[in-house]
Amino acid sequence: MDADDDSRMSESKTIHERSTTGQKGFPPLFGICRRGTARSFTWSRPALGVQFALPGIPGDRPRDPPRNHSSGTYHRPTLSPMTDALDEPTRDVQRVLVVTAHPDDVDFGAAGTVTTWTASGIEVVYCVCTSGEASGDPTTPPETTARTREAEQRAAAATVGVREVLFLGHPDGRLTPSLELRRDITRVIRRFRPHRVLTWSPEINWEFLVTSHPDHRAAGEAALAAVYPDARNPHAHPELLVDEGLQPWVVHELWLADGPPERRNRVVDVTDVFPTKLAALRAHRSQTGHLPDLAGDIRGWLAETARRSGLPEGRLAETFQVVSTA
């Protein structure tokens, strides 16, 4: 990262603190109740996950002609099985921003994928919209819960090779895709200048409703608007340019997690990095420490995802909807 990048990230460490309350519950996910800035760390570099493009999906309109972006080949493949469409989505990508609603969201949904990216030399930054204060023991002050969950997310991030975690301080359990949230995410995008953004789908997954928490969808909708049009439009949130000197930036690719299965067009084989993903989840002790078989539940979830994606028996996978935004 060059001097300008260092300066941008130094500025972006400023968080907006708010005193908030609210309640949010996570129904079981394969027996799991989902509630939940590394500076130095030691970790083993696992084998890279293999990433495939899935067959074309309803509603996904191909570009004409298909184009290669800095993130790798984007296309609407027609080959089947999926393993016929092997590609290299990390090519030329140097920076990825992950935008989530709560601490632990990325570790349940994408920690394996993030591990493959950091292991290949990609710089990843986490931007967490809330501090997860509306969870856990209701007798614990929200600010105490927030501090605990922020520390857990930093520890989990270090496990997968992520060095920067930013908390925006919006209210947990009451997140909306407001202009304020869009502006805050746009600010991070213009400072960090990512080539790819990973966030949560703003659509409901009716097959597995518990992954479509309103906060998740609100974070995804705000991140989508920040990617397009806000981050690239000099007239959007003009104070970012006029007062803060943040130039517009075009993000080339958007990865959406936990969306409707029929929209997912990218599968990442995370078999070899499963231990790292599990370690990241275990870092969220306040959210996962009480679960009797976290490893078995997560393995079963990823194995079923791999099976539905056409990967061989015994493989584990995370899937996403990938959209070209250039």
What is the structure's pLDDT at 208? 83
Q: How far is CA 296 from CA 143, 270, 299, in A?
A: 32, 15, 5
What CATH code is carried by the domain that includes residue 35? Answer: 3.40.50.10320
pLDDT value for 88: 52
- pLDDT for 51: 52
Q: Which domain holds residue 34?
A: 3-324
Query: 3-class DSSP state for residue 66?
Result: coil
Give dist(CA 6, CA 155) in Å, integer.
Answer: 22
How many domains is the chain built from? 1
Query: What does the pLDDT read at residue 136?
Result: 80
Residue given tokens 């296309």 in the structure block? 75
List of residues 6+ apart from 50 with CB closer than 8 A? 86, 268, 269
Separation of alpha carbons 148 and 4, rounded Å: 32
pLDDT at 91: 67
Alpha carbon of 7 to those of 128, 168, 211: distances in Å?
Answer: 20, 19, 36
Q: Give the Cα-Cα-Cα angle 133, 103, 238 (nearest 5 degrees).
A: 90
Question: Whole-angstrom Cα distance, residue 60 to residue 203?
Answer: 14
Q: Where are the beta strands (DSSP E) in 62-193?
A: 68-69, 72-73, 95-100, 123-128, 164-167
Burial pattern 226-240, b for ≥16 Cβ within 10 A else e, equals bbbebbbeeebbeeb
- Show pLDDT as tens, one digit a residue, over the chain (326 residues): 554 544 444 444 433 333 333 333 323 333 333 333 332 222 223 334 445 444 333 333 333 333 333 333 333 332 233 443 333 555 689 999 999 999 999 999 999 999 999 999 999 999 999 999 998 888 999 999 999 999 999 999 999 999 999 999 999 999 999 999 999 999 999 999 999 999 999 998 898 888 889 999 999 999 999 999 999 999 999 999 999 999 999 999 999 999 999 999 999 999 999 999 999 999 999 999 999 999 999 999 999 999 999 999 999 999 999 999 98
Question: For residue 89, which of 305, 306, 268 has the smallest C-alpha distance?
Answer: 268
Among candidate residues 283, 273, 288, 135, the one with its CA nearest the CA of residue 213: 135
